[in-house]
Chain A
Amino acid sequence: MHGAGPNLAFWVLAALTLVSAGGVMVSRNLLHAVLFLIVSFLGVAGFFILLSAPFLGMAQIIIYVGAIAVLVLFAILLTPRAGRDNGETRWAAPGVLLSIALMAVLLFVITDTKWTTAKDAPEITAADLGQALLSTWVLPFEIASVLLTAALIGSIMLVRSPEEEAEDALQ
């Protein structure tokens, strides 16, 4: 994509993503942090669309904005100490160290890479993905459903109550 529109969209999305990512760190209420995280995910989805990967953008919205955000919200609601807000920051110093180390690695990779512009990169649509998924990659496609079912059964086993566990032991 060329022209003023994508350029403008890039800066708007960059501002949106970074500001909301900052909001995740700054907000004291953990639920507000999750809401900021959702906005940040939306910005990343916008980047995917800007990079001519609309299907990936849609998947980002469906999975991250839709499902992962719900999972994070549930995880916060399940945590008894989460009600005390984001007040305890014992892990601040290690966190800062870790992020500085990560930033150093990323900066090294960014400066080390030779950035070339691809001439007319193909736009991969959902239809192309479907063709590949249901012909060449059909076995991984089917295995994915087995993986999802295994995750489902595993999580059911993990949250059994003591009574249910006793019932299973008898069988």
Chain B
Amino acid sequence: MSIYDSWSAVMMAVIAGFILIGTALMATRLLAPFARERAKGVSYECGMLPIGRNWAQVHVRYYLIAILFLLFDVETVFLFPWVVQMRVYDYWVFYEVLTFVGVLGLGLAYAWRRGVLEWK
């Protein structure tokens, strides 16, 4: 069994990723010049002084986009066990999955008609 068959490869990729990003952050900290100015914390450094706090409340409409994302994410998880063995199944299993996707597609069509996906 080679190392690529086991999770050791994943572990090594994770460690390598941490080292890569860690060294990049360390290098900028060590090599780049830094000027400590209070104005650097301002939202728009080179423009007018911003009014109010840096906290902009998001409209509730955007939450729907997040929920749409969540639903189709869950759909992916349901489709995954079918996809890894797609060719093994009988042909009618395809229609089972098509029904599953179709019902969710109806939901998406409804959301589309209600203008959820529009940028207002």
Residues of A within 8 A of B (CB): 5, 9, 49, 55, 58-59, 62-63, 66-68, 70-71, 74-75, 77-80, 82-83, 125-127, 129-131, 133-134, 138, 141-142, 144-146, 148-149, 151-153, 155-156, 159, 164
B107 and A148 within 8 A (CB): yes
Q: Is B2 an interface residue (CB 8 A)?
A: no
Residues of B within 8 A of A (CB): 7-8, 10-11, 53, 55, 57-58, 60-64, 66-71, 73-78, 80-82, 84-85, 88-89, 93, 96-97, 99-101, 103-104, 106-108, 110-111, 114, 116
> Shortest CB–CB separation between residue B92 and chain A, in angstroms?
10
Known A145-B100, A152-B67; judge A133-B73 contact (CB<8 A).
no
B73 and A156 within 8 A (CB): no
What are 22 A-B pairs at a CB distance below 8 A? A62-B76, A62-B77, A63-B73, A78-B63, A83-B55, A126-B81, A127-B84, A130-B81, A130-B85, A133-B81, A133-B82, A134-B96, A138-B96, A141-B78, A142-B99, A145-B78, A145-B103, A145-B104, A148-B104, A151-B67, A152-B110, A156-B64
Q: In whole angstroms, how far apart are the Cα atoms of A121 and B88 in the complex? A: 25
For residue B63, which residues in chain A have a CB less than 8 angstroms away from its CB? 71, 74-75, 78, 155, 159
For residue A159, which residues in chain B have a CB less than 8 angstroms away from its CB? 60-61, 63-64
**Please, which residue of chain B has its CB at the minimum distance from the CB of A135?**
B93
For residue A67, which residues in chain B have a CB less than 8 angstroms away from its CB? 66, 69-70, 73-74
A interface, by DSSP: helix, strand, loop or mixed?
helix
**Residue among B55, B70, B110 facing the most chain A CB atoms (10 A cut-off):** B70
Q: In whole angstroms, how far apart are the Cα atoms of A58 and B93 in the complex? A: 23
**Residue among A66, A83, A159 facing the most chain B CB atoms (10 A cut-off):** A159
For residue B85, which residues in chain A have a CB less than 8 angstroms away from its CB? 127, 130-131
For residue A142, which residues in chain B have a CB less than 8 angstroms away from its CB? 96, 99-100, 103
**Please, which residue of chain B has its CB at the minimum distance from the CB of A68?**
B70
Q: In whole angstroms, how far apart are the Cα atoms of A59 and B78 in the complex? A: 9
B111 and A156 within 8 A (CB): yes
Q: Which 6 A-B pairs have the closest CB atoms?
A: A83-B55, A130-B81, A149-B107, A67-B70, A145-B103, A129-B81
> When the two chains form the complex, which single residue of B67, B89, B93 contacts A155, counting CB atoms closer than 8 Å?
B67
Known A5-B8, A130-B85, A155-B67; judge A149-B77 contact (CB<8 A).
no
B71 and A74 within 8 A (CB): no
Q: In whole angstroms, how far apart are the Cα atoms of A46 and B77 in the complex? A: 17
Q: In whole angstroms, how far apart are the Cα atoms of A148 and B103 in the complex? A: 9
Known A133-B81, A159-B61; judge A149-B103 contact (CB<8 A).
yes
> Shortest CB–CB separation between residue B78 and chain A, in angstroms?
6
Q: In whole angstroms, how far apart are the Cα atoms of A153 and B10 in the complex? A: 39
